[in-house]
Amino acid sequence: MSVVDYAQMAFREGTRALAVEAPVNLVYGSVPHAVMMTTPGDLEDFAYGFSLTEGIVEDASEIRDVQVEEVEDGLRLLVELAPGRLREHLARKRAISGRTGCGVCGIEDLDSLPRAETRQSLSLRVPVASIAKALGALDSAQTLGATTRAVHAAAWALLDGTLLAVREDVGRHNALDKLIGAMMRAGTDPAEGFLVITSRCSFEMVEKTARLGAGMVVAISAPTSLALERANDHGITLCAIARSDSLTVFTGGERLVR
């Protein structure tokens, strides 16, 4: 690898850590379901979070086991579902309708856009100072991001702003799914904190937030118009363009405590 210095027009040899991107095939009951491009870390968490946000399971108890298997061209996630849930999953239409991944690729019509059930705590109240504290701690918590500058992060913060869990991935959707999976496995109550994401907040990220049951998401970048519509529909507080000195509250400002 060569690094070019513009000022001196000089080339010098260098090295750089790169984020790993690999295909991961999720398999339920020996039936392949989807291939996602992910950073191959915290894959058990990813299996849980993906299964929830895709509507394959309703809670962690419906997943019996997750095995990570290396194959020639990537990785395979073998997800063992409870028998009743597996039958329901296999009976679903085989199309990719309802996917909350990037661009919801593969849906057949507009009616197939995913829409989660609203189930977050209406009594959630978050001090503004807690959001500032969480944002301040997030940079140092992104270990992979610090070395590669090529991944997204999703974090869960308690009501006092303490970061309880952080997950990273080359895909912003994957990072959030990994975080959701980690929370499911730990039995974290989504009424006791809020989400922080380093990416833009598109409608899919809001749908994942609603599926988890969280009442607030704070995004470093700006939201989209559909994200605002869905946040209003679900009663989710959406804060974005979050910086060290300010943030913009787009929906649900009544949850913020000054």
d(CA 219, CA 223): 8
Q: For residues 209 and 217, is the Cβ–Cβ distance under 8 A?
A: yes
Phi-psi region of 42 (alpha: psi -120 to 50; beta: other; left: phi over 0): left
- The two three-digit tokens of residue 114, written as one number: 């995913």
CA 192 – CA 174 distance, rounded (Å): 22
Provide the token pair at 243: 């910086």
Supply 20's token pair.
């790993």
31's enclosing H/E stretch is strand 31-38
Is the CB of residue 135 less than 8 Å from the CB of residue 205?
A: no
The reply to whether 102 belongs to the active site is: yes
Cα separation, 139 vs 198, whole angstroms: 10
How far is residue 121 from each of residues 53, 131, 194, 239, measured CA to CA in Å?
A: 18, 18, 11, 17
Q: Strand ranges (DSSP E) for 170-226? A: 193-197, 216-219
Of 102, 105, 201, 239, the active-site residue reads 102
Point out the residues that are catalytic: 102
